[in-house]
Amino acid sequence: MSHYARYAVRLAKQAGDIIKKDFTTVMEKSWKADGTPLTKTDLSVNRLVLDSVRTTFPDHSILSEEGNDFREASEFVWVCDPLDGTIPFSHGIPVCAFSLALVHNGESILGVVYDPFMDRMFVAEKGKGAFLNGKKISVSSQRTFKHALFSVVHWNGAPFDFSRTATVLKNEGARISNVSISYMGALVAAGAFAGTIFPGDQPNDTAAVKVLVEEAGGKVTDIFGDERHYDRPIKGHVASNGVLHSKLLALIIETLPEHQKGGTT
């Protein structure tokens, strides 16, 4: 394990300690402009990441969902979602994850996703495989939508509307489960999910998933099948076991609203 990976795992454990300490069944929250909740835990973990990276790697940038320290000239960027799954967490449901990736010149080279409640640490480094609590993991061999498990995220105002995509998948016998984008992506790497489809344009939830899934034998692209840089906006995100990837992409384009089929800027 590289020194970057060891550092990321330590930081994930520290973030997990904050998440567990703050967890209660009744939690105060505010609301962001997009209508999603924000808790003090989001901000506390975000502050931990900002302070830690600035101290340990002063030449690196940070791109985080709750506050950045981003410099265009940085060769290395840490991309973070401090609390992925704020909605269930803020309602007293202990299902969430801390997500952290190291991006080098736009390419995800390290991904860590940590579930502090189950103590499940997913780690992958470019060219070194993907692991869950030290055990090597791999994607599923599922070849059809029927009985496969997917995460298909959609919300009002998202850059891409996957509501019809989810309906068609269900009609073909697939099962849909949504909680935390990065966690569901890590579970694609572990073979539990066949794929995840994300409609957003920010890489915070997906940069770690990119390397985790690919190192586990799967495939990750934007929704148009293109490779993306994960230190800048993306055009949605599809992570799969690889076998179903082209089929998923075709379904997405078929079911997208016409005005979204050309992508976004």
pLDDT in tens, 216-235: 999 999 999 999 888 888 99
Q: What is the mean pLDDT of the chain?
A: 91
Q: How far apart are CA 256 and CA 265, in angstroms?
A: 16
Interval 234-258: pLDDT, tens = 999 999 999 999 999 999 999 988 8
Last residue within a domain, chosen from 136, 162, 193: 136
Q: Annotation-wise, does 231 bind a ligand?
A: no
- Same domain? For 130 and 210 the reply is no
For residue 263, pLDDT over 60 is answered with no
Q: Annotation-wise, does 251 bind a ligand?
A: no
- Same domain? For 153 and 126 the reply is no
Q: Annotation-wise, does 205 bind a ligand?
A: yes
Read off the pLDDT band of 21 (50, 70, 90): very high
Domains contained in the chain, number: 2
Interval 72-108: pLDDT, tens = 778 999 999 999 998 889 888 999 999 999 999 999 9
Exposed/middle/buried for 117, CB within 10 Å: 0-12, 13-18, 19+? middle
- Same domain? For 220 and 191 the reply is yes
- Same domain? For 185 and 127 the reply is no
- Same domain? For 240 and 131 the reply is no
Q: What pLDDT is attached to residue 259? A: 80
For residue 241, what is the domain's CATH number? 3.40.190.80
- Same domain? For 97 and 163 the reply is no
> Cβ distance 95 to 120 under 8 Å?
no
Last residue within a domain, chosen from 109, 136, 163: 136
Q: What pLDDT is attached to residue 99? A: 97
In the predicted model, what is the mean pLDDT of residues 115-140?
A: 98
Q: Annotation-wise, does 81 bind a ligand?
A: yes
Q: What pLDDT is attached to residue 25? A: 64
Q: Annotation-wise, does 38 bind a ligand?
A: no
